[in-house]
Structure 1
Amino acid sequence: MIPWKTYSQALKRNVQSRQLAALLFAFHSHFPENSQPFKTNQLSKHMTPAIYLEKGRDKSLRRRHPWIFSRGIRKMEGEPSLGETVDIFTHDGKWLAKGAYSPHSQIRARVWSFEKTEINEDFFVKRIQNALLLRQDVIERDGLTGYRLIAAESDGLPGITIDKYQDYLVCQLLSAGAEFQKQSLINALLKVFPQCNIYERSDVAVRKKEGLEERTGVLHGNEPPKSVVIEENGVKISVDIVGGHKTGFYLDQRDSRQQAMKYVKGKEVLNCFSYTGGFGLYALKGDAKRVINADVSQPALDSAKLNAELNEFDISKKRAVFLNADVFKLLREYRDQGTKFDVVIMDPPKFAESKAQLNGACRGYKDINMLAMQILKPGGTLLTYSCSGLMDQVLFQKIIADAAVDAGRQVKFVERFEQAADHPTDTAYPEGFYLKGFACKVI
């Protein structure tokens, strides 16, 4: 083998030496692995950066779970930028998937595709069309003008949530890959929904774990008005896209709201954590005798009252009350006063954002359900829910059972609830199932 320094020396000599240098350059260009300037781990510009997994870490991917954790990575080739697409291989070089790289997150990559396809505008068009087709029956059956179009990993688009309210598409981009592909996503949405406006609501703290800043604003078209009115199951609801919770409304509870109606006819109902009145509206539609909507946010209560008026419900104080109160304190006051209800609806916000918060969340759920049981009349109904994905249905059921013991009441589970049909769960991604609920008879 000819040493590299011979080439350097030859450049300083006569014409014959320059000819020798040219020959040597050709030799090293043909065999780059034998020369110092061409390193074996330097990828060509046209090549995709790659992740190689530790041995045995490919099992979940072979079952099509879309996450790769940092501890499962053996090595990387190339230097992918934040959110860039990478090829994913087994430890011995067998190709597995294409994913989005996230150097700041413990979920180091999220899979876009288990097929060798380009991640581009056409890819997103197909994913969006498939998601729309999946929901078509539900949209038409329930006459929906507000629904979840994209449910992130469950629709093969990790970190991307999109809700449709009339002609507004509201996006949450919660992963580095989603941010990296933003323009391709926007272009794809406009191909499928050419008349729609697109607004971003990526004002979620989890973006910091991805190395991203929170962001909101118009991505295409017009700024949303203060109120966009949608309809579900014959109920009209005003949605504040810019300032409301999540993307504006809790679409995932649509089916539970509908199912709650059969428990409320002629009943005194307490709707806790009422937000803009979702469950309360359905209770009024279901001919409840009286509905008290309790929430700590006065603007949310004002919206709840407007929603009741929008549906032309009787909102005299004999029929509907909108009470600004801390629910925990309110329940204790009702208990101490001996105030009783026929139905209590308990739909609190997420109590656990991380595993470290789960124990505290369990205590919170137990306490609040215990208090609800204590203010129910014998034979009353507790409709209780948890949207904490870290709390599975079995754990939630145990918490309700423990609450019953502490409340000194006999409780029977009579019905189970889950997220609405436009929030599907892929069998390969059980984390997509997060909302669970029970109808309980309190003896």
Structure 2
Amino acid sequence: MTNAAVLSPRGAARLASGHPWVYRSDTLNLPDTPGIHAVQDVRGRPLGWALVNARSEISVRLLSADPAVRADEAFLRARLDAALDYRARLNPDADAYRLVHGEGDGLPGLVVDRYGPYAVVQNGTAALEPHLGALVQHLAERLGLQGVLARHEGKVRALEGLETGIDELYGRVPDRLEVQEAGARGPVRYLVEPRTGQKTGAFLDQRVNRALLGAYARGAALDVFSYHGSFGLHLAPGAAHVELIDASGAALARAEENMRLNGHTNVTYTEANAFDRLRDLESAGQRFDTISLDPPAFAKRAKDLPNAYRAYKELNLRCLKLLPVGGVMATTSCSFHVSDSDFHGMLADAAADARVRMRVLHRGTQAPDHPERLGVPETRYLKFTLLERVE
């Protein structure tokens, strides 16, 4: 098989274990041109078909372990259809949710988020790039979309040898649009700017967790690292008052717009460093009955873990000190390198140092439209824990 990706024994063992990625260091021969190529082991035994790019550190991303399949554009459309069928079965109570979640849907490197009649696409693999137009056309026709935007951004594309930029691939996509998601006390509306917002325009992976926390909202509430108020919008209907904390004045301005959109007037906005503000609130003797703590990823690389642990622990410790008995706190980490055991061990240490006893009400992860693939830990990155302070 002359144009095949040939793997070392270690690379072949990695695929056999169920993980779809093989690093360049575990390959023996790679085709010069990125694309869909056959994969084989050092003895010539066929291992399936993969997206292959010799330039990328992750040189092989398995599409199918069946050497007999025809891994062509029709195959990719069928994978896309399967992802869309799965979302149809989920029937999300929202008009903004994820349609394709990369490896979780068997389409490595491809992310597609829906915002009402529009979609935003991010592709991180050079091998898939030539097929992107056809996949977008199929997506738009099947769902009746009015526009599809490509957010070609980030280091991943550069590592794959791809250009960056923003491009309309189908129809027209407005600079700003309004979407909604289900809340514990009714629909929650918010604004999205698909060209400039974080990720594809909004953080959709916490959708279910936001609604869960909203059911517990009461009294004085605090939303730390609020960004556009995603958790705060779910706290406001049940709380007497909500304080949003974020270091970005622009993010808080958008949060205020979102609150007005939902008719909430019981909110204040604090532009501050979260660590400093939490210390000030503790010094002032403030207490909050409901707290959301949703910090950014502190451990983007494995070597960041020690510093990330200290940052997560300090934030959680200070929030725990603000909770009265009976108070509820949602705390999260979106750092893949922070494991479930690391995260919950950190929470136990923070509670011990804060001298509080906490009951675990719920442990969760990202919404089911961001599916986890068994054996691929990178597809499970979000940790969400709901805690209640007890006597």
TM-score by length of 2: 0.92
Inter-CA distance 252–177: structure 2 relative to 1 (3 Å threshold): same
Is residue 330 from structure 1 mapped to residue 277 from structure 2 by the alignment? yes
Q: What is the distance in 2 between the residues matched to 1:412 and 1:219?
A: 48
1:60-103, CA deviations, whole angstroms, 9 ceiling, x for partnerless residues? Answer: 32343210112221334xx422x322211022111112112222
Inter-CA distance 373–143: structure 2 relative to 1 (3 Å threshold): closer
Give the structure 2 partner of residue 245 of structure 1: 198
Is residue 55 from structure 1 mapped to residue 19 from structure 2 by the alignment? no
Shift of 1:309: 1.8
Shift of 1:397: 0.3
Is residue 163 from structure 1 mapped to residue 113 from structure 2 by the alignment? yes
Alignment equivalent of 2:87, drawn from 106, 119, 135: 135
Assess if the C-alpha contact under 8 Å between 1:80 and 1:86 holds in 2: no
Assess if the C-alpha contact under 8 Å between 1:128 and 1:192 holds in 2: no
Inter-CA distance 196–232: structure 2 relative to 1 (3 Å threshold): farther
Give the structure 1 partner of residue 158 of structure 2: 208
Give the structure 2 partner of residue 256 of structure 1: 209
Higher Cα Rg, which structure: 1
Q: What is the distance in 2 between the residues matched to 1:165 and 1:54?
A: 43
Alignment equivalent of 2:136, drawn from 186, 190, 197: 186
1:110-150, CA deviations, whole angstroms, 9 ceiling, x for partnerless residues? Answer: 112223434443222211211111121332xx432111000
Alignment equivalent of 2:127, drawn from 177, 195, 214: 177
Farther off after superposition, 322-331 or 181-190: 181-190
Q: What is the distance in 1 between the residues matched to 2:282 and 2:14?
A: 49
Q: What is the distance in 1 between the residues matched to 2:118 and 2:142?
A: 13
Q: Which runs of 5+ in 1 are unaligned?
A: 1-46
Assess if the C-alpha contact under 8 Å between 1:63 and 1:428 holds in 2: yes
Give the structure 2 partner of residue 123 of structure 1: 75
Inter-CA distance 184–62: structure 2 relative to 1 (3 Å threshold): farther
Q: Secondary structure at the match of 1:382?
A: strand
Assess if the C-alpha contact under 8 Å between 1:228 and 1:241 holds in 2: no
Assess if the C-alpha contact under 8 Å between 1:121 and 1:187 holds in 2: no
Q: Which runs of 5+ in 2 are unaligned?
A: none
Assess if the C-alpha contact under 8 Å between 1:200 and 1:216 holds in 2: yes
Q: How many residues matched?
A: 386
Farther off after superposition, 405-414 or 297-306: 405-414
Give the structure 2 partner of residue 226 of structure 1: 176
Is residue 64 from structure 1 mapped to residue 14 from structure 2 by the alignment? no
Is residue 296 from structure 1 mapped to residue 296 from structure 2 by the alignment? no
**Which structure carries more helix by proportion?**
1
Shift of 1:413: 2.1
Between the aligned residues of both structures, percent identity stands at 32
Q: What is the distance in 1 between the residues matched to 2:344 and 2:311?
A: 14
Is residue 73 from structure 1 mapped to residue 73 from structure 2 by the alignment? no
Give the structure 2 partner of residue 440 of structure 1: 387
Is residue 389 from structure 1 mapped to residue 336 from structure 2 by the alignment? yes
Inter-CA distance 113–342: structure 2 relative to 1 (3 Å threshold): same
Assess if the C-alpha contact under 8 Å between 1:274 and 1:294 holds in 2: yes
Give the structure 2 partner of residue 279 of structure 1: 231
Assess if the C-alpha contact under 8 Å between 1:87 and 1:98 holds in 2: yes
Inter-CA distance 231–57: structure 2 relative to 1 (3 Å threshold): closer
